[in-house]
Structure 1
Amino acid sequence: MIKVGIIGLGKTGIYVAQNILKSDNMQIVAAICSPGSIKKGMDLGKFLGTSETNIKIASSDEMESIIFKTKPDVVVDFSSASATMKNIPILSRMKVNIVIGTTGFTKEEIKKIQNLSYEFKNGIVYAPNITLGVNVVMLLSNIAATVLNNYDFEIVEMHYKNKKDSPSGTALKLSDEIEHGLEVSGTYDKTIPINAIRAGGIIGKHKVLIIGEYDQIEISHESFSRQAFSLGAIKAINYIYNKSGYYEMNNVLNLKEILHEYIDTIDGNLAINS
């Protein structure tokens, strides 16, 4: 049984907690909210609208003592970038594995997260792009860039109006995947514009436009429910349990191996036809 801690009980954290409670191989041992939240002291089950769990929601300023007492195997963090950067050193020193679902980190902060996993030898999944579907979009975009390196690429991403980071972490990761695909084909320094839209209650939509002189391809993904984020989180928890090192969702979903097999197949076909 995997013992799980939850940090952040916002819109997505609620879905994650609900699905963990339904999982046969997981149990929640700790739930942590932001300081001053009205959720503090509530029974987690009562807060989620289910039966009582005897797990009292604690404040993040009590996190270290709560983690020491409950000893989770994996902590899922859906708080905020600034809070996560405070949480990770504490959790890493305590040898707790982490799934990070928050976004808005700088490249320097991501590097710090990587280094902490190597220093303390705990396992970390950095997953701002935690839905399963959007990771397939990343793979497809990488493949398209490898094949259609003379086309123009542009990303459009849409989220709810109060989302703080812009462009989204997923859009930035999509841009990286397209760049990697272009570089495989020998194309460098191509500009990939990102258009960010913040409006209403949009949960999340990412669209990659691939435009040539005479035709256009569109690859898109839209989340209809935060359940999509929750399913990705469950997969990441199962993956990082008992592992050490730094990983991303493409590792969780084995996408790098799929992409390498595709590229090897393409190279083999080109060799045969040449």
Structure 2
Amino acid sequence: MSVNKNRDDSKGDSDGDNDSYKCVGQRIDVYTNHFPIKFSERSNGTVFYQFDVKVEILMLDGSWHSWHSCNRDERLQVLKAIIQQEHFPFVWYDDEKYLYAKEDLTLKFKKKYQCEISHEITGQKNKYRFLIFNLVKTYELQSIFDFIQKRILVRPHDPVRILETLFKQTQISNMITIESQFFPKPQRLDDIGCGTGIVLGFYQGIVLGECGPTLNINNKFGCFYQNYNLVQFITCYLNYNIRKHGEFYMKNNFF
């Protein structure tokens, strides 16, 4: 985008059009971190389907087995396996309990699926199940175009949020995601003491304005705990070598 440092409004045409300032004065290049999102013409009729889903793991409770909720990493792993196994159409999912698709999955697919996945460290096979409870709601992409063209005045937040979720899926496999913040997994932490370190990442979000949706990206620093065991962490946090002087420290500070 280019603008002029010196605007000259005195050189407008006879109709009062003062657009001549666009080519008067010193040219300045302005860089922005907003990147326009372009849609094809056939996207106008796109409908997003939102489903309530759940991923569970079969665990031993005493003398019997029962299903329990999975953590986020397990959910993503199971969903990827089920999608590949059952040849699902293009779908994406958030960090909680919703699955999104461009067609109604309840018309062609079952509501319950199972798979087995081996644990990366122990090699033990765990059994999981994926449940599609119901279709929660549908959203029309057309509402975004209606807002841009001023046919509606209310900003369509839900379709924008679903698009943001879709953009997250491209980063989630090799990133640590915290809401709309992303940090590369193999990145080394810069030590700042107390067993913590900072890492460089970025913020990503979609902004819907009068000219259309744009993808906004900003640099972001995050603070994380170092990958220490308990003894290492306590040593760093207390700034005291508890391996060497642990007994003396305990006697003088806790007794």
TM-score of the superposition, structure 1-length normalised? 0.24
Structure with the bigger RCO (C-alpha within 8 Å, sep 6+) is 1
Structure showing the higher helix proportion among its residues: 1
Structure showing the higher strand proportion among its residues: 2
Larger radius of gyration: 2
